[in-house]
Homo-oligomer: A and B are copies of this chain.
Amino acid sequence: MDVVKQHLLDHGVKPSFQRLAIMKYLMENRTHPTADIIFQDLYEQIPTLSKTTVYNTLKLLTEQGAVLTIGIDEKNARYDGNTEPHAHFRCRDCGCIHDIPVNTANEIFVEGIGELKIDEVHIYYKGYCKNCASDKN
């Protein structure tokens, strides 16, 4: 069966036309897009798509764990179809976002957390990417 459809079903999300399109987009585009970029791109193929649906769907997918919402960009939320544990880097100059292979799952076991019930960890790196760092000589 379709990988995208199966992914939604695995996370208890009924695979509607729009949900499939958005999930497929995130699985094929590992660019950590904003909701608006997803909307713009999909709107070309699906002219009946509403921006509200994109927001609603991304919220649902995040709640069900089918998608990761990333808060590394102060301006907009970014979305990631890769839910395997990993960290993120963002360039201060060009704003590009890269995956960083850190097993964030290990980070959940922390000293000195008292009685906090931690269930999620986000690690955000900031700095300059290869291109932007070389621009600065």
Interface residues of A (CB under 8 A from B): 69, 71-72, 74, 77, 87, 89, 91, 98, 100-102, 107-108, 110-130, 133
The answer to whether B133 and A117 have CB atoms under 8 Å apart is yes
| A102 vs B107: C-alpha distance when bound (angstroms) | 10
The answer to whether A117 and B127 have CB atoms under 8 Å apart is yes
17 of the cross-chain contacts (CB-CB < 8 Å) are A69-B74, A71-B71, A71-B72, A71-B124, A89-B113, A100-B113, A107-B123, A108-B125, A115-B130, A116-B129, A117-B128, A118-B127, A120-B126, A121-B123, A121-B125, A122-B126, A123-B124
The answer to whether A77 and B77 have CB atoms under 8 Å apart is no
Give the Cβ gap from A104 to chain B, nearest Cβ, in Å.
Answer: 9
Using Cβ atoms and an 8 Å threshold, which residues of chain B touch A87?
Answer: 110
Give the Cβ gap from A46 to chain B, nearest Cβ, in Å.
Answer: 27
The answer to whether A110 and B102 have CB atoms under 8 Å apart is yes
Using Cβ atoms and an 8 Å threshold, which residues of chain B touch A72?
Answer: 71
